[in-house]
Structure 1
Amino acid sequence: MPTDFAALDPQQLKLWLQAAGKRDSAAFRALYDASSAKLFGFALRILHKRELAEEVLQESFVAIWNNAANYQSHLAAPMTWMATIVRNKAFDQLRRSSAGVEIDAEPFDPEVINALQDPQRTPIEALQMSGDAKALAWCMSALEGAHRQVVALAYYHDLSHSEVATQMKLPIGTVKTWIRRSLEKLRVCLAKGAA
């Protein structure tokens, strides 16, 4: 089994994902076998509890199976697309179990926010780079679903505001407002976590 995301062949993953979109269960199994360990590790980094990460991984692969036909390779690499699903499911899990989640009280590292703006970084890299990633994951999970998706498309997938508006079928003004408000909410949330 591959030990890092770089070892996973994006072209092969794309082929398996496209075949899964056509309901090819053997291709889906191959996709699962190749990527599940890494995606589990990613979920575990966010949730810090094995049983929650296992649940999120299962929910994520159900979502991957159900949405494989909608995968668009020109928007994201296969692992980035799947990791985004895992990340969103993990955020949902954090929201559901918010009573048991503690935010690190260390000062927030601006490098995490910079990673959101760096199109070369995947969601995995952004969350792996420091202990402050847990605080960012928590704050992102507090955003409303559509607002979180707009921010993710703009910063994780490096889409312009107009591209986000087209993909989300929203007016450009709405997208700009949501992004501005969401970034302010993230700033406030992260400042509280550092207090």
Structure 2
Amino acid sequence: MQARSYKMTVDQTEAMARRAALITALAACGDGDRAAFRQIYDMTAAKLFGICLRICGERQVAEDVLQEVYLIIWKRAPTYDAARGSPITWLCVIARNRALDWRRSKQAHFAAAHDEVDTGKFAEVADEAALADDALMLAQERERLHLCIDQLDDRPRAAIHSAFLDGLTYVEVAERAAVPLPTMKSLIRRALLRLRECLRDDG
């Protein structure tokens, strides 16, 4: 038991040190420090690439999207506020949003090319993105967020996993669950509000 507690303490210390280093690097990057930008890349590229690959589904595309993600990070670094959430969560939100933008663009192009635009299929997706991002940004540590997600009932938990961890659009989540899109949006909206409450209580 003592060994396990010691390991948890070591892991927590390492996580805190890594977080502090990333916050410092983002602050320096915001001031135009290219060495700090390189440090951010080295510390986070593998994780952000995994997000891009999962959403885009193609390795070459994911690599291209990842380059765009880091261009966005370079530009937005001055806006990062450590008081609002952990740096890795902030970076993951940027990667997820950019990868989803690519996928929506691909879907729209495919629909136009085949002249089969279906407003039901390619309608506005993830229109609660601001609320979702806000909920994610409230998580100071990833573990806290997952603990709160695990407290949800089966349906909302599956929907949150699909929409924000697997990177599916609201339309795709609704189709997977075989429910109308408005029903799925309402279910996810309620789940996000519960996550906010859970994260606030844990804070």
TM category (shorter chain) comes to 0.5 to 0.7
Residue of structure 1 equivalent to 2:129: 148
- For 1:40 and 1:56, locate their aligned partners in 2 and report how far apart those are by CA, in whole Å: 9
Residue 80 (structure 2) aligned to one of 71, 74, 77: 71
Q: Secondary structure at the match of 2:137?
A: coil
The alpha-carbon deviation at position 42 of structure 1 amounts to 1.8
Residue 92 (structure 1) aligned to one of 86, 89, 101: 101
The alpha-carbon deviation at position 8 of structure 1 amounts to 7.8
The alpha-carbon deviation at position 98 of structure 1 amounts to 1.7
Aligned pair 1:40/2:23, yes or no?
Answer: no
The alpha-carbon deviation at position 151 of structure 1 amounts to 2.9
The alpha-carbon deviation at position 14 of structure 1 amounts to 0.7
- For 2:45 and 2:172, locate their aligned partners in 1 and report how far apart those are by CA, in whole Å: 31
- For 1:65 and 1:59, locate their aligned partners in 2 and report how far apart those are by CA, in whole Å: 10
Residue of structure 2 equivalent to 1:191: 174
Q: Secondary structure at the match of 2:71?
A: helix
Change (3 A) 1:158 1:9: closer
Aligned residues: 125
**Deviations 1:54-98 (Å, cap 9, x if unpaired)?**
121111100100000000001111111101000000110110112
Which ranges in structure 1 are unaligned for 5 or more consecutive residues? 102-138, 160-184
Residue of structure 2 equivalent to 1:157: 137
Q: Do the aligned partners of 1:8 and 1:34 also contact (CA within 8 Å) in 2?
A: no
**Deviations 1:136-175 (Å, cap 9, x if unpaired)?**
xxx9x8134xx4123321x32349xxxxxxxxxxxxxxxx
- Bigger Rg over Cα: 2
Q: Do the aligned partners of 2:26 and 2:36 also contact (CA within 8 Å) in 1?
A: yes
Which ranges in structure 2 are unaligned for 5 or more consecutive residues? 1-13, 111-121, 140-168, 179-203
Change (3 A) 1:6 1:95: farther
- TM-score w.r.t. length of structure 1: 0.56
- For 1:7 and 1:56, locate their aligned partners in 2 and report how far apart those are by CA, in whole Å: 29
Residue 26 (structure 1) aligned to one of 19, 24, 35: 35
